[in-house]
Amino acid sequence: MSLITEKNNINSEEHILVCLSAAPSNKKIIDTATKMAEGLQARFTALYVQTGTKAEAMDKERLEEHIRYAEKLGAEIVMTHGENIPVQIAEYARLSNVTKIVIGQSNARRNHFLSRMTLTEKLIELVPDIDIHIIPDAVKTKTYQKRPFAWYMEKPSVRDYFLTAFIFAVCTLIGLLFQKLNFTDTNIVTIYILGVLLTSIVTDGYLCSVAGSFLSVFLFCFFLTEPRMSFQTYAVGYPVTFLIMLISSVLTGALAAKLKTHAKLSAQLAFRTQILFDTDRLLQKAKGEREILDVTCTQLLRLLNRNITAYVVENNALSEGKLFSGAGEDTEDFLTKEEQQIARWTYENRQRAGASTHHFPQAKCLYLAIRSGNNVYGVIGIPLQKETLDSFEYSILLSVINECALAMENAQNAMEKEKNAVIAKNEQLRADLLRAISHDLRTPLCSISGNADMLLGNSERLDEATKHQIYTDIYDDSEWLIGVVENLLSITRLNDGRLKFKFSDQLLDEVIAESLRHISRKHDDYRIVSDCEELVLARMDVRLIIQVLVNLIDNAIKYTPPGTVICIQGTKTDGKAQISVKDNGPGIPDEMKPHIFQMFYTGKTTVADSHRSLGLGLALCHSIIEAHDGTLILTDHDPHGCNFTFTLPLSEVTLNE
Can you tell me the distance from the alpha carbon of 134 to that of 140, in angstroms, rounded to the nearest whole number?
17
Average pLDDT over residues 459-471: 85
Can you tell me the distance from the alpha carbon of 290 to that of 334, in angstroms, rounded to the nearest whole number?
20
pLDDT tens profile 597-642:
876 666 655 444 444 455 667 887 888 898 889 999 999 988 889 9
**Residue 201: band (very low, low, confident or very high) from pLDDT cuts 50, 70, 90:** confident
Average pLDDT over residues 448-464: 86
The CA–CA distances, whole Å, from 222 to 225, 235, 560 equal: 7, 14, 117
C-alpha dihedral, 566 to 572 to 573 to 579, nearest 10°:
30
Looking at residue 141, what is its pLDDT?
47
Average pLDDT over residues 166-195: 85
Average pLDDT over residues 71-79: 85
Looking at residue 562, what is its pLDDT?
87
Average pLDDT over residues 473-480: 81
Report the CATH fold assignment for 288-406. Answer: Beta-Lactamase (3.30.450)
User: What does the radius of gyration of the chain's CA atoms come to, in whole angstroms?
Assistant: 44
Looking at residue 56, what is its pLDDT?
44
Comparing 242-251, 370-379, 555-564, which segment has the lowest mean pLDDT? 242-251
The CA–CA distances, whole Å, from 36 to 30, 44, 128, 212 equal: 10, 9, 20, 51
Q: Domain 504-649 belongs to what architecture?
A: 2-Layer Sandwich (3.30)
| Torsion 169-171-177-180 (CA) sign | negative
Check if the beta carbon of residue 551 is closer than 8 Å to that of residue 581: no
Q: Which residues pair with 528 in a beta bridge?
A: 566
Looking at residue 620, what is its pLDDT?
78
Q: Is the pLDDT of residue 426 over 90?
A: no
Q: Is the pLDDT of residue 137 over 70?
A: no
**Residue 91: band (very low, low, confident or very high) from pLDDT cuts 50, 70, 90:** confident
Looking at residue 9, what is its pLDDT?
46
Check if the beta carbon of residue 157 is closer than 8 Å to that of residue 204: yes
**Residue 429: band (very low, low, confident or very high) from pLDDT cuts 50, 70, 90:** low
Q: Is the pLDDT of residue 184 over 50?
A: yes
Q: Is the pLDDT of residue 404 over 50?
A: yes
Q: Which residues pair with 80 in a beta bridge?
A: 49
183 or 229, which is more confident: 183
Comparing 64-73, 134-143, 401-410, 531-540, which segment has the lowest mean pLDDT? 134-143
Can you tell me the distance from the alpha carbon of 519 to that of 550, in angstroms, rounded to the nearest whole number?
6
Looking at residue 359, what is its pLDDT?
86
Mean per-residue pLDDT over the chain, rounded: 79
Q: Is the pLDDT of residue 115 over 90?
A: no
365-372 and 353-354: which strand pairing?
antiparallel
Can you tell me the distance from the alpha carbon of 346 to that of 341, in angstroms, rounded to the nearest whole number?
9
Looking at residue 600, what is its pLDDT?
64
The CA–CA distances, whole Å, from 128 to 47, 94, 438 equal: 19, 11, 79
Q: Is the pLDDT of residue 123 over 70?
A: yes
Nearest alpha carbon to residue 592 among 613, 566, 609: 613
Superfamily name and number for 4-135: HUPs (3.40.50.620)
Angle in degrees, CA 332, 334, 336, rounded to 5: 85
230 or 75, which is more confident: 75
Looking at residue 269, what is its pLDDT?
74
Looking at residue 250, what is its pLDDT?
73
Looking at residue 149, what is its pLDDT?
41
**Residue 547: band (very low, low, confident or very high) from pLDDT cuts 50, 70, 90:** confident
pLDDT tens profile 279-292:
888 888 888 888 88
Would you list the domain boundaries of the chain? 4-135, 158-263, 288-406, 442-496, 504-649
2 or 414, which is more confident: 414
Check if the beta carbon of residue 346 is closer than 8 Å to that of residue 353: yes
Can you tell me the distance from the alpha carbon of 294 to that of 403, in angstroms, rounded to the nearest whole number?
13
42 or 83, which is more confident: 42
Q: Is the pLDDT of residue 69 over 50?
A: yes
- Does residue 288 sit in helix, strand or coil? coil
Average pLDDT over residues 335-364: 87
- Total residue count of the chain as it appears in this document: 657
Looking at residue 602, what is its pLDDT?
66
Looking at residue 185, what is its pLDDT?
78
Looking at residue 578, what is its pLDDT?
94
Average pLDDT over residues 314-318: 84
Looking at residue 437, what is its pLDDT?
62
Check if the beta carbon of residue 559 is closer than 8 Å to that of residue 608: yes
Phi-psi region for residue 576, left (φ > 0), alpha (ψ -120 to 50) or beta?
A: beta
Phi-psi region for residue 105, left (φ > 0), alpha (ψ -120 to 50) or beta?
A: beta
First to last CA, the chain: 90
The CA–CA distances, whole Å, from 622 to 491, 505, 549 equal: 10, 21, 12
Q: What's CA 510's distance to the chain center, in Å?
A: 56
DSSP secondary-structure letter at 439?
I
Can you tell me the distance from the alpha carbon of 128 to that of 54, in angstroms, rounded to the nearest whole number?
32
Looking at residue 65, what is its pLDDT?
83
Q: Is the pLDDT of residue 337 over 80?
A: yes
**Residue 655: band (very low, low, confident or very high) from pLDDT cuts 50, 70, 90:** very low
Looking at residue 34, what is its pLDDT?
92
DSSP secondary-structure letter at 117?
P
